[in-house]
A and B are shown apart, each in its own frame.
Chain A
Amino acid sequence: MKRTPPLFDTVRGALFPALIGALMAGPSLAQTPAEAPPTPATATPAAPTQAQTFTLSNGMTLIVRPDRRAPTVAHMLWVRVGAMDEVDGTSGVAHALEHLMFKGTPDLQAGEFSRRVAALGGRENAFTSRDATAYHQQVPASQLEAVMRLEADRFAHARWSDEEFQREIEVIKEERRQRIEEAPRARMFEALSAMVFQASPYRRPIIGWMSDIEAMTPQDARDFYQRWYSPANAAVVIAGDVDVAQVRALAETLYGSLPASAVPPRKPREEPPQVGPRRLEYRAATEQAMVVQAWKTPRWTGGDDAANQDALALTVLAAVLDGYSGARLERALVQGLGTGGRRIADSAGASYGLMGRGPQLFTLSAVPAKGVSAERAAAALRDEVTRIAREGVTQAELQRVKTQWTAGEIYKLDSVFNQAQELGSYWINGMDVNASARLMNQLRGVTAQQVRSVAQRYFHDEQLTTAVLVPDPGRREPAAPRPAGPRPALTRH
């Protein structure tokens, strides 16, 4: 039933984790973690088996996680190429290619891929993020071989006519209108990314600038496909009701036999240090303002060095600020408990990128309450970090967020699709199948002192970029497409 007004979904929860997640490409902590749940007495041994990784003879990676609870399987093909691998002028080509991959092969008519998967009883889709492109199906376990066959064919032999391309470009322009042009906050986030990053390709929107989409040629997409869809640059991830040895043999036959090719070298395009605050205003026909503050922070790469330690502590910091209903930001800004009952914001959030192929941010954001300026809301957000820098966090808070993650480790086992998604995300970031367990163990070890320390060290003006969405009710939507941008992976459908 779609009748409930959507705003009620948010009454007691954070208003926009999704939106904040918008800025982050990597899995946010909510989805992240791990492994080896404690097994209470009630559990029968069907508990998930460890995921295993294999390298096929052409260099393609295979990751298999058996989970035989139900006779279904999630099959994903991940390519380590996303919007960040594009260059100026052809932004959006990774995503356009993802759409075009449904247009057939020499053995398969346009649209036939989807019809075949549907006939098997399968659900399918694909998505593009800054870091990756992934194609996925969920099918009855007995149909795994059939979708592997289809996906292997498409990976190596996709093709599209110029006419198909033109029609799909029109679809993608509609997608951009729907996701971005008609969503002022998304446009603001697009503008924020373009400001916070200068050299890093993360500055461009995943879906691409409208003029780049319009100017894209069928050959742009073909070139990108030829360049990046190499077996050595891809991983097949399978979770569900499978036998590892059988799947491995099948994958070797269907995927491992595809011709090998070299993965092109990647230029670093490192983001230079930011040496002063940046600020932008984005005016749009909205009622509510919004303010976002983004700081450049290290990311988690699985190592043990100081930067990785900080990444773990920043993860805890985000959770203590905004990990649950009534956490610090909500209490202080939305409930007004930190300001003598004066409400500062209608919603407030914190988010940290943690992982990604490119540079990561820690963001604080708020929708100012009526009559409160964006500046006041921004200051109140920072005050909460400053308070932690000064006073630290309590043991109870620390324990609380760890308890929440530990329980989440068990709940996440309910979905094999999510398991596949998580394994794929770690692979994209160059990490192995134990990364999730390692992350969880390391998070459990984070101390209150570490959290206080990152709160003291990372939130200076010099590294800060602020974006303010300014309500300008007289302004209508720009007639021509304008810059803007969200960060959740784009799904094809």
Chain B
Amino acid sequence: MPHLRPPLIRPGLITACLLVLNALLPAHAAIPIEHWTHASGARVYLVPSPSIPMLDVQLNFDGGSRRDPARQAGLASATAGMLSAGVLAHAGQPALDENQLSEAWVDLGAQFGAQVGGDRFSVSLRSLTEPELLERAVALAARQLAAPAWTSSVWRRDRERMLAALLEAETRPGTLANRAFSRAVYGTHPYGQEAKAETLNAIEVADMRRFYRRHVVACRAQVSLVGAIDRARADRIVGQLMAAVAPHGCEALPTVAEVAPLTAAVEQRLPFDAAQAQVLIGQPGVARNDPDFFPLFVGNYILGGGGFVSRLTTEVREKRGLSYSVYSYFAPGLHAGAFQLGLTTRPDQADQAIGVAREVVRAFVEQGPTEAELQAAKDYLVNGFALRIDNNRKLLDNVSNIAWHGLPLDYLDTWTEQVQRVGVADIRRAFARVLQPDRMVTVTVGAKP
């Protein structure tokens, strides 16, 4: 199995070594994830990648949007955005306003910021590893984590911009379709919550401060590092960053409910005078820890994930010219993220396209893929595995994912085996269990008969 080249060996030699290794031990060409628990409680995952003098760090916390109170949907995202809006004076260092802080980062040639997904609150740092620069970048990151300014005037301003952008987005049929789909699939589950004017208006900086202290905590932190550093240096960096959030303590978090299955089909047709109709079809899917993750993953590649060669693309686009883009995916998280199929088409073709797409899904759930389709999928996934890990950015995503979902450290090493093990019957069984074509949500915006 291919992987990033080990360092310190002349490139010319490695090719030969690897080929031999690949031939003999396909399952054991390890991607060397070093893992340990830092004294602060943070779990650390390091992949040394020495050939470019740069380092990427990602800190993950249990503070994604699923933790948003319903009346303050958007709180996690707002908190992430405001984390870069300046720092207070702290530990003998002066305060920096949002612009001074941004300038400080640019002057280091480094990048820092927070992002939010459904599950995770993530903080990212990218820096060169030239020792003095890295030292200063880590110190600035720690300062920012320790003492965010939470300036209310900045929040009021950003909120104004968000409200304006929200109004603009609501003029687009795609926004309306996504919103209706989320509501129908997730019901009251926080995965379906979306920021609206009233929820944004209910958020103040004090809420952010509380949210931040509660969720960004060392005891539950996962720190992934990929770059030109060794374990000792990584551990020191983790120590500096975790010291910054240590005062937050380690408050226990409540359990989040699971996504409820649909009890009946939902059909929503929203009128919209659009140039193109938006179609979304789906239902709650699976959580990432579902034992059928691989059959569903491989199966969906065949159904609607595989670029130009999927069944949906073949039937909807290639054979009938009904759409430029048509896809399906599962979005497995800590809870059952949606299975979603999407397409856009001329308004008067919407019903035809929906008919074709539904029939493709129905037939796939009923019969599964052919042996030939499964083989083609395995060829793509197995042969192309190296492309999933061939740079630092991709490795970081993978390692963070392993950490977040508690996957085994050899997950990447056994990945192709797991794909190879999937059979037609596994896919059929998994799809039949997880998807109910007669009980899906169908949202159409802007269709005309």
Residues of chain A at interface, number, CB under 8 A:
100
Contact A140 B387 (CB under 8 A): yes
Q: Which listed segment binds A: B39-47, B77-85, B290-298?
A: B77-85
A17 CB within 8 Å of chain B: no
In the complex, what residue of chain B is closest to A331 when comparing beta carbons? B99
Are A8 and B195 interface neighbours, CB within 8 A? yes
Asked whether any CB of chain A lies closer than 8 Å to the CB of B102, the reply is: yes
Contact across chains for B382 and A410 when beta carbons are under 8 A apart: no
Interchain CB contact under 8 A, B318 and A43: no
Interface flags, B147-191, vs A, CB<8A=1, else 0:
000000000011011101111111111100000001000000001
**B117 beta carbon closer than 8 Å to chain A:** yes
Q: Residue A167 at the B interface, CB < 8 A?
A: yes
A47's closest neighbor in chain B, by CB?
B51
From 398 to 414 in chain A, residues with beta carbon under 8 angstroms from any chain B beta carbon are 399-401, 403-404, 406-408, 410-411, 413-414
Contact A43 B106 (CB under 8 A): no
Q: Determine if B240 is an interface residue (Cβ-Cβ < 8 Å).
A: no
A274 at interface (Cβ–Cβ under 8 A)? Answer: no
Find chain A residues with CB under 8 A from B321 CB. 166-171, 174
Residue of B5, B81, B106 contacting most chain A CB atoms (<10 Å): B106
Of B107, B108, B337, B344, which one neighbours A178 at CB under 8 angstroms? B344
Name the one of A5, A125, A140 contacting B77, with C-beta atoms under 8 angstroms: A5
**Residues on B with beta carbons closer than 8 Å to the beta carbon of A114:** 307-309
Q: B383's contact among A119, A286, A288, by CB below 8 Å, is which?
A: A119
Q: Does B116 sit within 8 A of A, measured CB to CB?
A: yes
Binary flags per residue of A1-38, CB closer than 8 Å to B gives 1, else 0: 11111111111100100000000000000000000011
**Which one of B102, B166, B168, B173 lies within 8 Å of A286 (CB-CB)?**
B168
Q: A227 an interface residue at 8 Å Cβ cutoff? A: no
Residues B169 and A7 in contact, CB atoms below 8 Å apart: yes
Q: Is B70 at the interface (CB under 8 A from chain A)?
A: no
Please state if B172 and A182 are interface contacts (CB–CB under 8 Å).
Answer: yes
**A35-62 contact mask (Cβ, 8 Å, vs B): 1 or 0:** 0011111111111000000000000000
Minimum CB–CB distance from A239 to chain B (whole Å) comes to: 12
Smallest CB separation, B344 vs chain A (Å): 5
Q: Which candidate, A78-86, A151-159, A435-443, A475-483, is the interface stretch facing chain B?
A: A475-483
Judge whether A182 and B161 touch: CB under 8 Å.
no
Indicate if B323 sits at the interface (CB-CB under 8 A): yes
B2 touches A404 (CB 8 A): no
Chain A, Cβ-Cβ closest to B307: A493
Q: Is residue B346 within 8 Å, beta carbon to beta carbon, of the partner chain?
A: yes
B261 interface residue (CB < 8 Å to A): no
A6, A139, A407 interface centre (most CB from chain B within 10 Å): A407
The residues of B that contact A122 with a CB separation of less than 8 Å are: 380, 383-384, 387
Bound form: Cα–Cα A172–B161 in Å: 34
Closest-by-CB residue of B relative to A478 is B275
Is B2 a contact partner of A71 (Cβ separation < 8 A)? yes
- A41: which B residues are within 8 A, CB to CB? 131
Residue A175 interfacial (CB < 8 Å): yes
Contact between chains at A11 and B324 (CB < 8 Å): no
A477 with B51, Cβ < 8 A, contacts A121-B383, A343-B160 known: no
Q: Does A369 contact B (CB under 8 A)?
A: yes
Determine if B51 and A369 form an interchain contact, defined as CB atoms under 8 angstroms apart: no
A493 to B304: give the CA distance in the assembly, Å: 13
Among B11-19, B217-225, B248-256, the one that faces the other chain is B11-19
Report B54-90 CB contacts with A as 1/0, cut-off 8 Å: 1000000000110000000010011011001100000
- B284-341 CB contacts (< 8 Å) to partner A: 306-309, 314, 317-325, 331, 333, 337, 340
Inter-subunit contact A178/B325 (CB<8 Å): yes
Any B CB within 8 A of the CB of A248: no
Q: Interface with A: B205-213, B357-365, B390-398, B429-437, which one?
A: B390-398
Among the listed A8, A71, A323, A367, which residue makes an inter-chain contact with B116, where contact means beta carbons less than 8 Å apart? A8
Whether the Cβ atoms of A410 and B54 lie closer than 8 Å is yes
A121-B387, A288-B168, A414-B391 known; A5-B314 Cβ under 8 A: no
| Interfacial residues, chain B to chain A (CB-CB below 8 A) | 2-5, 7-8, 10-11, 14-15, 18, 50-54, 64-65, 74, 77-78, 80-81, 84-85, 98-99, 102-103, 106-110, 113, 115-119, 126, 128-131, 157-158, 160-162, 164-174, 182, 191, 194-195, 228-229, 273-276, 306-309, 314, 317-325, 331, 333, 337, 340, 344-346, 376, 379-387, 389-393
